[in-house]
């Protein structure tokens, strides 16, 4: 299999290297051949080429089986007046690969419950799969900037809503058969389209229960009864906000992976944490989110379920027994955690 | 003073009646004259007149010193295909009164910390004042609905951002002199305008510290270090989501008040909870959010600070000693809580 790596900015290169080491170990143990091909994205790409996603990088991604991304962005490139920004590279990549469904699983490891801001009893049974629409909405709509005003258009077609809703219902079938669709249908026209379309798709899945929630209520319910949700499907911007909120429950943003998939053959895998410029280059970033992203890569792009489970079990073991990185209250560096995962895998 | 009441839907009439009783007691104790004038809004107005905010109601509001609102909406009127919706009445009221700054204070009463989903140590020092822009953004932008697509435009002018930012900085001066501005400047053009404009306003307040956060990070930070924020200013939709998330920290949505103010003389006061159709008409809704809204009304619209503090102290006493409504784990009804507040006031 051909895997493109896009280390990107900040801690991206550090966590991506650890994740690649894990994939290499999987290849050795299970007798696979993974060919890695590294390209530039984000601020690193802007510095080297002037563009946040050079054409060659996108082409290589499209020709690959899976893309493993680190993180993009940082203070160096965050002038709001800049014409070229690192995040544009990530958005162009998501659109270019057509990966419209962003899967963000959330579980709370029992050994880490003490790190969660939420009380223990709230964390019981938390096992949510967020399905965030990733290639539409205000992220990709028309923008204008006048002398003294600005606009962003949020736009959705029925087809865009339908395909991501179908993914959510399919995924719910393999889980607890419950879908919560989140919108702001009492205010937004796109949300009314969203709600109608999701309800329409639901008719094809009579074995799955559909519930609608408004985004403001959902932001509250994720805290008051997080254990009640199975699959949560929502549009791009609401998904961005709600998944970060939910990630806080896990005890550290550094733990969580994501998979972005579409109809095409190439999936995109990235930890949900950002470039964390404050700790970049120090060898202390938690690589678990990136490593768990390789498990999703093995599962969703390479159909290697046993290998995916092995990686997840190895991470579980390390979260249980240590070593722990700083975000988890420990002193271990990125390499220590990587080595512990490799040892548990062996 | 002339006060218009808009009880609205669901539990709105019940909590508004309790709040009016408190204002009447304040008038008696302190020798003021408050003239109350009740009008229709929301689903109740649709049922009676076909319109979610009859012209006469808006006119009465504009001619008043303050408006006390209950809640709008409910399942009866929530068909996403309906042409007329209760929420349109609320949006027309906010726009009609020009109340562009929605103040939502969040503190966690020590006696209620056990009800919060957050761990005790996280709740220490939580004292945040959200300032939500209330008359712009996607709530009021152009909407289209085609056969198979829909759009919502988010639009902000510099002037709209500047006036709400100024309010936030002014309010911060009377508090801990820290403003956190929340946007999504790495993706949205309106957020880049927002960030530039807020930074520009900050130059006039050298004694106040300004920090920018992205909305997804902020959704996380509100859980991981809620005690670090003083004044948080953000645009309409982000404010809707973040304030409901923050409200969950208080232990019940039923506790929190809000004040909406503009340049005009009339302020709008409402609890932040919704119409709670599941418990409407049963006499069990918690009136504290509505009662604390009257304290904000006394403070911001009538400049009666001593009276506002007296109402807040009375509520504090009741939260400490009971009785407690169901949402707080007790068995008291709306009238019991109202009577306890009245007794504490006397
Ligand atoms: C970096 C940014 C553009 C991105 C997003 O908003 O989608 C990030 O927050 C994410 O959630 O992957
Ligand atoms: C009822 C609804 C339109 C309203 C809003 O979204 O502003 C409510 O959620 C609020 O926060 O006051």
pLDDT at B81: 77
Q: Which residue of B has its CA nearest to A243?
A: B216
Do the first three CATH levels of A1-112+251-346 and A117-249 match, i.e. the same topology? Answer: yes
**A-chain residues near B85 (CB < 8 A):** 186
pTM: 0.97
Pick from B138, B156, B222 the residue to mutate for testing the A interface (most A CBs within 10 Å).
B138
Choose among A78, A153, A216: nearest Cβ to B244.
A216
Q: CB of A154 within 8 Å of any CB in chain B?
A: yes
Cα separation, B184 vs B181, in Å, equals 10
Confirm whether A240 is a catalytic residue: yes
Q: How many CA atoms lie within 13 A of A20 on its CB side?
A: 21
**B-chain residues near A122 (CB < 8 A):** 117
Query: B247–A220: do the CB atoms touch at under 8 Å?
Result: yes
What are the extents of the domains in chain B? Answer: 1-108+251-346, 117-249
Q: Which atom of ligand 2 is nearest to the CA of A187?
A: 3
A87 lines ligand 1 (CB under 6 A): yes
pLDDT at B2: 98
Q: CB of B249 within 8 Å of any CB in chain A?
A: yes
pLDDT at A81: 77
For residue A285, say whether it is annotated as part of any ligand binding site: yes
Pick from B75, B80, B104 the residue to mutate for testing the A interface (most A CBs within 10 Å).
B80
B217 lines ligand 1 (CB under 6 A): no
The yes or no reply on domain A1-112+251-346 and CATH 3.40.718.10 is yes
SS3 for chain A, per residue? CEEEEEEECCCHHHHHHHHHHHHHHHHHHHCCCCEEEECCCHHHHHHHHCCCCCHHHHHHHHCCCEEEEEECCCHHHCCCCCCCCHHHHHHHHHHHHCCCEEEEEEECCHHHHHHCCECHHHHCCCEEEEEEECCCHHHCCCEEECCCEEEEEEEEEHHHHHHHHHHHHHHHHCCCCEEEEEECCCCCHHHHHHHHHHHHHHCCCCCCEEEEEEHHHHHHHHHHCHHHCCEEEECHHHHHHHHHHHHHHCCCHHHCEEEEECCCCCEEEEECCCCCHHHCCCCCCCCHHHHHHHHHHHHHCCCCHHHHHHHHHHHHHHHHHCCCEHHHCCCECHHHHHHHHHHHHC
Q: Is the pLDDT of residue A344 over 90?
A: yes
Identify the CATH homologous superfamily for domain A117-249.
Isopropylmalate Dehydrogenase (3.40.718.10)
For residue A276, say whether it is annotated as part of any ligand binding site: yes
In tens, the pLDDT along B144-171 reads: 999 999 999 999 999 999 999 999 999 9
Residue B96: pLDDT band with limits 50, 70, 90: very high
For residue A236, say whether it is annotated as part of any ligand binding site: no
Q: Is the pLDDT of residue A13 over 90?
A: yes
Of the residues A6, A87, A237, which should be mutated to test ligand 1's pocket, given the most ligand atoms within 8 Å of the CB? A87
Q: CB of A344 within 8 Å of any CB in chain B?
A: no
Fold of B1-108+251-346: Isopropylmalate Dehydrogenase (3.40.718)
Please give the order of strands across the beta sheet that includes B127-133: B35-38, B2-8, B66-71, B267-271, B257-261, B101-107, B127-133, B231-234, B178-183, B209-214
Q: How far is A322 from chain B (nearest CA, A)?
A: 22
For residue A74, say whether it is annotated as part of any ligand binding site: yes
Confirm whether A184 is a catalytic residue: yes
pLDDT at A330: 97
Q: How far is A191 from chain B (nearest CA, A)?
A: 8
Q: Is the pLDDT of residue B80 over 80?
A: no
Residue B195: pLDDT band with limits 50, 70, 90: very high
Mean pLDDT of B195-224: 98
């Amino acid at each position: 299999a051909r895997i493109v790596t896009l280390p990107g900015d900040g801690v991206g290169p550090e966590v991506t290297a650890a994740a690649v080491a894990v994939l290499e170990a999987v290849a050795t143990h299970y007798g696979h051949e993974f060919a890695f091909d590294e390209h530039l994205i984000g601020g690193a790409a802007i510095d080297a080429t002037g563009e946040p996603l050079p054409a060659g990088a996108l082409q290589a991604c499209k020709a690959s089986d899976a893309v493993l991304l680190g993180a993009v962005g940082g203070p160096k490139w965050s002038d709001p007046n800049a014409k070229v920004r690192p995040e544009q590279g990530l958005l162009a990549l998501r659109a270019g690969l057509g990966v419209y469904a962003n899967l963000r699983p959330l579980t709370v490891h029992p050994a880490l419950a003490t790190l969660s801001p939420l009380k223990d009893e709230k964390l019981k049974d938390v096992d949510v799969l967020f399905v965030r629409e990733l290639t539409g909405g205000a992220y990709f709509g028309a923008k204008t900037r006048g002398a003294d005003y600005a606009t962003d258009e949020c736009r959705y077609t029925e087809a865009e809503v339908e395909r991501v809703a179908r993914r959510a219902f399919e995924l719910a079938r393999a889980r607890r058969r419950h879908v919560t669709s989140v919108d702001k249908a009492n205010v937004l026209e796109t949300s009314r389209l969203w709600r109608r379309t999701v309800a329409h798709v639901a008719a094809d899945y009579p074995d799955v229960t559909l519930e609608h929630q408004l985004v403001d209520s959902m932001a509250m319910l994720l805290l008051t009864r997080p254990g009640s949700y199975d699959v949560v499907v929502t549009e791009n911007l609401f998904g961005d906000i709600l998944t970060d909120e939910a990630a806080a429950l896990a005890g550290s943003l550094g733990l969580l992976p994501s998979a972005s998939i579409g109809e095409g053959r190439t999936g995109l895998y990235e930890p949900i944490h950002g470039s964390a410029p404050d700790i970049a280059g120090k060898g202390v970033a938690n690589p678990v989110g990136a490593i768990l992203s390789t498990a999703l890569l093995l599962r969703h792009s390479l159909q290697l379920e046993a290998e995916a489970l092995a990686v997840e079990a190895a991470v579980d073991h390390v979260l249980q027994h240590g070593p722990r990185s700083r975000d988890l209250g420990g002193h271990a560096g990125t390499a220590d955690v990587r080595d512990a995962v490799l040892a548990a895998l062996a």
